[in-house]
Amino acid sequence: MSLQVQPHVSLKPYNSFGFAVRARAFAQAQDDGQVRAALAYAQAQQLPLMVIGGGSNLLLTRDVEALVLRMNSRGIRLLSDDGHQVVVEAEAGESWHPFVQWTLEQGLAGLENLSLIPGTVGAAPMQNIGAYGVEIKDVFAGLTALDRHSGELREFALEECAFAYRGSLFKQHPERWIILRVRFHLQRGAVLKLNYGPVQQRLQEQGISTPTALDVSRVICAIRQEKLPDPAVLGNAGSFFKNPVVSAELAGQIKQQHPDLVAYAQTDGQVKLAAGWLIERAGWKGFRDGDVGVHRLQALVLVNYANGTGQQLLALAQRIQNDIAARFAVHLEIEPNLY
């Protein structure tokens, strides 16, 4: 099937904030051939190419003067299975949570802590998504990407991806690589990661002493649904700010003033602070300015109530950043990709 390019398309259905900006041109790629066709079209029309997945990590502040290509490829494959170790490959356009659920239905463990995260498989390694003690890098088995410059396919191993906290080589160079499919190391009967207190507590409350991966997924889904708004109901991109990493000295100074500071020591001697705690302590939780605001239940989530704009939400985010810097001498970094 040839690539279908549409002019002047609203991106409201394609970003989880629901901002009503328009793309100069828009297309959806079902396979590698259509990705290559999109590259050729953009070059012929002298347009930039902007690749998106589920639009759940995207802050659009203006119309997009580019060809916006939505990755919509589908397919999940078992590449190897020795009865214990399994490698699964999924196309970039697969929705993340349904993919996680599919692995659990096959009796595979490894992705359960990443349940109910919005977005697509292809976007997961870009952001090195993580939750409840697990990141993509912990289960990563490789990926296939298209080099925009040469047009060649390249296979990436773990050590080549420069995975970091909410970052990767692919996020650093989005103009270079288009992720086509991703592979994961999963297990049958794996040791589960239950270090996150609320997960253990929920399991105990339900009388589950020897949980399965599916049990863990269900508990995490319940916790996330209580804490985070559904983007289909209230526009948001999940956690809006990264948890800042600061010096032990600065963390100690803040703790002197605020003994209940939520902080986690890092192996390099620095300290990771909970951005949500900082924002809530500063009084922003539940704040609303017109059609944008801070969620009433989770200070780390900024929301579009109805007809807000990306510019309004960005302005609010900058107000919060300035306030946190003034109060705590901490810089909060925006997590969604900004356009």
Query: Which residues have a catalytic role annotated?
Result: 166, 239, 335
Q: Give all strands (DSSP E) within the chain, no chain letters.
A: 6-10, 22-29, 49-52, 58-59, 64-71, 76-81, 85-91, 130-131, 134-135, 140-147, 153-156, 177-187, 235-239, 245-246, 263-265, 271-273, 288-289, 292-294, 301-304, 337-338
Length of the chain in terms of residues written: 339
List Cβ neighbours of 48 (8 Å cut-off, separation of 6 or more).
42, 65, 66, 67
Q: Exposed, middle or buried, 112 (CB in 10 Å: 0-12/13-18/19+)?
A: buried
CA angle 225, 55, 19 (to 5 degrees): 90
List Cβ neighbours of 307 (8 Å cut-off, separation of 6 or more).
20, 291
Amino acid at 73: S
Would you state the structure tokens that stand for residue 205, as one six-digit string? 């409350």
Helical (H) or strand (E) element with 259: none
Could you tell me which residues are beta bridge partners of residue 65?
none
Enumerate helices (H) and strands (E) in the chain, giving the number of each.
9, 20
